[in-house]
Amino acid sequence: MFIDINRSSSVSIKKQLYDSLTYKILNCELNFGEKLPSSRELANYLQISRNTVVEVYEQLIAELYITTRKGSGTFISNKKKCNFAKPLPLHTVYTTEKTNRLNLIAGAPDLYHFPKQAWQQATRRVLNKSGTEIYGYGDPNGYLPLRQALQKYLNTHKGIKCCPENIIITGGTKDAVRLIAMSFKGRYKNLITESPSVKFVPKIFRSLCYNISPIKVDRIGMVTADLCAEDKSIIYTSAAHQFPFGGTLTIERRHQLIDFAVKHDHFIIEDDCDSEFRYRGAPVNSLYQICSDYVMHIGTFSKTICPSLRLGYLVLPAKFSEITDQYTETLGNPPGTIVQAIVNDLIRTGDYEKHIYKMTKIYKAKNKAITDGLNREFAGKIRINGEHSGLHIAVEFSDYRLKMSDKEIFKQHNLEVQFSNEFATGKTGSASNRLILNFAHLTHPEITQAIRQLKKIYKILTA
């Protein structure tokens, strides 16, 4: 009986022996009733410890792969052939493709400047000063001190006046959208959504059998003049920095949207993923600030700190608490309380605000580098949108309409990009003359390189 043991493998010898024997049994290389070598014989043959073989045999007996007969030996007891795939060779190394391609896909913040020192200090303070409550399952609505800190932060920086009871800590924007969709299912039937917009929003609502009504977006944001009366609906918008076009909804359109929602008893999801980073002009009013009875405000720490936290928050009108409570009890799954406590510490000490201030200066410089570079290289041939805030911009060509097949040309020239029509819902908002370019995670040399490559690609496409 041949069994390959790789002594240089990181996989233990016991696991290698177990895997080899179960594979041979399940694929009938060892047949029902066939006698196995004794533990001593197999150990001598493989030059391994007899105790290792005994432990593997005992495990196989417990799982009914083999059986022992007193005075006769150990035999195969499995009768069924399963055709299991053969285990990968023990020397196999998992690798990921490495390329020199610059990734300009929207969403990634600058992780090089993650606030390591502040995070470490906050972690020590939390672990040294907190009680045992941070080690438990926690409140499904989120760690109360964090919700209290957010209440003050939102009031100061976004003009949002709410109570901690109105705030739910979520596992990010997607988690918040799913919670809303589940909470309103049966009461509301439609989703009115910007198009183009983030892909997962219509997908989540569609999976719960909502009707989807797309509304087109221009350079400013949702075209509120196109809103039509529907049955009770949820309206999704990213008014502060529209994704992906980058527009900021004017105060006139904001009031048009809110008036429409109030008149028809609709409710608005306000997705505010990256408006903390503003490079020109004063911060804009939150829709929640204007009309807290009809707006659900979603925020995230994925852009301001880092995506791996999987941490966000949802601010609800007070009258929704009973509706959502039944779902947070069963569906609420905020990140671990320790992580929430650390973020709470960052907010309370002012380190969070300092980090945002620092990153705003860094992103502003990168924003200027990419917009100045593009305007210089494509003078009169492009129009840039969304450059006043956020982590990405939208670039519109004046004399070329992008085709999905063009993406291969971008890849051949080492650029990974997105086109605006990738985010369209239905037929509206399907114009494909815009590139969506994330700049936040790039270094200044990478920004220069990306612009140079874009110029080469543009010449090929328009030749």
pLDDT tens digits along 432-451: 678 999 999 999 999 999 99
pLDDT, position 31: 83
pLDDT, position 8: 77
DSSP state string for 239-251? -SS-TTT-----H
Q: Is the four-CA dihedral 113, 158, 390, 213 of positive or negative sign?
A: positive
Q: Say which DSSP state 225 is in.
A: G
| Residue 428 confidence class, pLDDT cut points 50, 70, 90 | very low
pLDDT, position 1: 65
Residues 6+ apart with CB under 8 A from 398: 380, 381, 382, 383
pLDDT, position 321: 66
pLDDT, position 30: 84
Residues 6+ apart with CB under 8 A from 440: 108, 109, 110, 363, 366, 391, 392
Amino acid letter for position 438: N
17-26, 71-80, 240-249, 269-278: segment of lowest average pLDDT? 71-80
- Going edge to edge, which strands form the sheet with 167-170? 167-170, 312-315, 295-300, 267-271, 233-237, 190-195, 211-216
Q: Taking Cα atoms as reference points, which of 112, 141, 169 lies closest to residue 342?
A: 169
Phi, psi of 81, deg, nearest 5: -90, 130
Taking the C-alpha atoms of residue 415 and residue 11, their distance in angstroms, rounded to an integer, is 38
Taking the C-alpha atoms of residue 332 and residue 140, their distance in angstroms, rounded to an integer, is 5
pLDDT, position 81: 58
Q: Does residue 87 have a pLDDT over 60?
A: no
Decide if 246 contacts 197 (C-beta within 8 A).
no
Amino acid letter for position 221: G
The listed range with the strongest mean pLDDT (91-100, 228-237, 252-261) is: 252-261
| Residue 96 confidence class, pLDDT cut points 50, 70, 90 | very low
pLDDT digits (tens, 9 = 90+) for 31-84: 888 899 999 998 888 889 999 999 999 988 888 888 988 888 999 886 665 555
Q: Taking Cα atoms as reference points, which of 168, 173, 133 lies closest to residue 302?
A: 173
pLDDT, position 105: 92
pLDDT, position 330: 60
pLDDT digits (tens, 9 = 90+) for 162-203: 999 999 999 999 999 999 999 888 889 999 999 999 999 999
Whole-angstrom CA distances from 449 to 54, 97, 104, 395 are 61, 21, 12, 17
pLDDT, position 459: 93
Taking the C-alpha atoms of residue 165 and residue 185, their distance in angstroms, rounded to an integer, is 22
16-20, 288-292, 304-308, 358-362: segment of lowest average pLDDT? 16-20
Share of the chain above pLDDT 70, in %: 91
**Mean pLDDT across the stretch 4-30?**
85
Report whether the peptide linkage leading into residue 244 is cis, meaning its omega lies within 30 degrees of zero.
yes
- Greater model confidence, 24 or 337: 337
pLDDT, position 10: 80
**Mean pLDDT across the stretch 351-376?**
96
Mean pLDDT (the chain, rounded): 88
Decide if 244 contacts 392 (C-beta within 8 A).
yes
